[in-house]
Amino acid sequence: MKFKGLSFKKDPRETGLAAFVAGEPNTNIKLNKINIGYIYGPNWRSKDNLWRITITVRKDAADIQEGCDWRWLTFAKTFETEPECREWLHKNMDGIKAKYNIHFQD
């Protein structure tokens, strides 16, 4: 079942020398057309060649420092392909929204 309001937009592929180390392009994760995170693929720094999901969430009041009230949250679960990441997000977005206070990036 697809989560309503969840969409994805793939970044353009790097060209030239940057393409040599860039790996697969990131995919923006959008909720109600606003960016909330990324799916990022393996690159030259990856040791396991797996895909990961990271989203932005609001910090707890005790953790807020000067001017920054959000943080990156990278899920421990990894995936073989980018479509697997999308499918997992569609299945689990209700639970993610219930557990975390998602920060909508400007």
Region 57-62: what's the mean pLDDT?
76
Gap between the Cα atoms of 42 and 103, Å rounded? 25
Gap between the Cα atoms of 38 and 15, Å rounded? 20
Region 55-74: what's the mean pLDDT?
79
pLDDT of 68 strictly over 70: yes
Amino acid 9: pLDDT: 93
pLDDT of 86 strictly over 60: yes
Query: What SS3 state is found at 50?
Result: coil
Higher-pLDDT residue of 62 and 57 is: 57
Tell me whether residue 75 is exposed, middle or buried, using C-beta atoms within 10 angstroms of its C-beta: 0 to 12, 13 to 18, 19 or more. Answer: middle
Higher-pLDDT residue of 68 and 78 is: 78
Both tokens of residue 52?
A: 């990961």
Q: How many CB atoms lie within 10 A of CB 19?
A: 11
Higher-pLDDT residue of 58 and 36 is: 36
pLDDT 10s digits, 5-50: 899 999 888 777 777 666 677 899 999 899 999 999 887 777 888 9
Give yes or no for a contact between 50 and 36, defined as CB atoms under 8 angstroms apart: no
Q: Using the 8-state DSSP alphabet, how is residue 16 labeled?
A: T
Amino acid 51: pLDDT: 93
